[in-house]
Amino acid sequence: MRPPGLRSQLLVGLTLILIAATLSVGGLTFWSVRRQVAELQLDSGRRLGEGLAAAVGHGFASWPPPDPQLRSLLRDLAKSPILSLEVVDTQLRQRVRTDPLAGSAEDDLELRSAILSGRQQLRVADGPPRSLIVVSPISVRGVTRGALRARTVLEADYGWPRLFWLLMALDGALLVLFVALVLTRYVVRPLEALREAAGRVAGGDLAVQLRSDGAREFTSLASSFNVMTQSLKDKLERVEHQRQELAESREHLIRSEKLASVGRLAAGVAHEVGNPLQAIVGFTEMLLAGGQSPEEQRDFLERVRTETQRIHRIVRELLDYARPVEDAIEAVELAAVVEQSLQLVMPQQRFRGVEVERSGLAHLPAAAANGQRLVQVLVNLFLNAADAMEGKGRILVEGRQEPRGETGSTSRLQLRVSNTGPAIPAADRVRIFDPFFTTKDPGQGTGLGLSVAQSIVESYGGRLYLDETPETTFVIVLHPFSP
């Protein structure tokens, strides 16, 4: 499930904030209005009570007034919102009451307190209906003659008016809409443009540029993004240039090491070529001297042709090995590569006492590599093995297929080259693939053979390493070829 977008999250948060703010402000406003209304009602009740008491105290020539006249006056005064009126004397004897219901002990206490203290008493009584009870002392020429109790209606509690909710909802909707438009224009759209530009950059398009307009923060972000893409483009161009230079240097190094191997091979086969040449010269001189029968002449010519073909084959193999090759991955039959490599080194004098064994090569599938490059690797390993054994010993070339991995990946191929020469010292084993490291006498090697060979194998996604075995064993690991 995809998480909600920034716009949705901000709008939901803003809506919740508006609801909370509306309820808070509305509640405070409503509470303040209710309090003001309550104070106004209390003040009005107080003034009403004082006016009624004054009207009763000064409305008659003598006190106490006759009950019929007092009742008539109270009847005239008891208009809405007055619910009831009651007049008592100083002994709390009821003189006139417009409400026939009997008073409570609390009413008597209020009446007594007003008479004794000469002060007005106020009390809010619960309904129905909710009312305000005002008890005022009746004073006649400065003397308290009784008390008047008035019960007036209080306004009902103010609820939340519908207009308030309508206005709040309308204001909130307009504010949310305004914020949504602002977010879309100044936040969401720049972020979407940045996301799209980042996706294009991830896809390799480094020419993308963001517009530097809008809010200051996004303008700064767009400028930084444009600087980043331009810097990345420049750095990638430099990296590509350096990669090409490294590739050219690597190719030059491989070529140089290959020519060094050709020189070693040529020096080694000089004797092998010299013997056929001497035989050719001898047969030629005998033919020039004459006196042979046609059969003898034919025999000499056949021998000359055989020796010449032998020299031609050796020279052709050296030329084929020395010529430049394209470093393209192809399907390589490891058995054929091993045989081609052995044909190059076997004419060497140092291989006269070397026995070569092959094992498990015929059943290996084709490897993903370059045949000529792999020949260069094997020639280097074979020459090093012959030098280590000083021309006497055994070389074992073994092909293996690694077990299939737990994830079902294709099993890799191994080409193991072992020799019976002396073991490599532990101190040299960790440095044997270092460039320019060699244990040979000066002028006998460059120290780049194994380093270049390892670089060639790794360029095909493989490995070349020295195995931990009693015999000196180099292992070439390659991936099988898949069209």
Question: For residue 384, how many C-alpha atoms fall within 13 Å in the half-sphere facing its CB?
Answer: 25
Query: How many Å apart are CA 64 and CA 50, to the nearest integer?
Result: 19
Model pLDDT, residue 100: 59
Q: Shortest CA distance to 146 belongs to which of 84, 85, 105, 94?
A: 94
Euclidean distance between CA atoms 137 and 112, whole angstroms: 9
CATH architecture assignment, domain 329-483: 2-Layer Sandwich (3.30)
**6-153 in CATH: which number?**
3.30.450.20
pLDDT for residue 250: 66
Burial (Cβ within 10 Å: 0-12, 13-18, ≥19) of residue 183: middle
The per-residue pLDDT string of the chain (483 residues; one tens digit each, 9 = 90 and over) reads: 556 666 677 777 777 787 777 777 777 877 787 788 778 888 888 888 888 888 877 766 566 677 777 777 777 766 656 777 888 888 888 777 776 554 565 677 888 888 888 888 888 887 677 788 889 898 888 888 888 888 887 765 555 567 767 777 787 778 778 877 877 777 777 878 888 888 888 888 878 888 777 677 778 888 888 888 888 888 888 888 888 887 777 677 766 666 666 666 666 566 556 667 777 777 787 777 777 788 877 877 877 787 777 777 667 666 656 565 566 889 999 999 999 888 888 877 788 889 999 999 988 899 999 888 888 889 888 888 888 888 889 999 999 988 765 545 568 899 999 998 888 888 888 778 777 667 665 555 556 678 778 888 888 888 899 888 778 899 999 999 887
Would you kindly state where each structural domain of the chain is located, as residue ranges? 6-153, 234-324, 329-483
The DSSP H or E segment spanning 403 is none
| Residues 154, 156, 157, 162, CA torsion sign | negative
Structure tokens at 167: 């206005």
Q: Are 362 and 335 in contact (CB under 8 A)?
A: yes
3-state secondary structure of 448: coil
Give CATH for domain 234-324: 1.10.287
Tell me the HSE value of 435 on the side-chain side, using a 13 A CA sphere: 6
Beta-bridge partner residues of 330? 369
- pTM here is 0.47
Can you tell me the distance from the alpha carbon of 200 to that of 198, in angstroms, rounded to the nearest whole number? 5
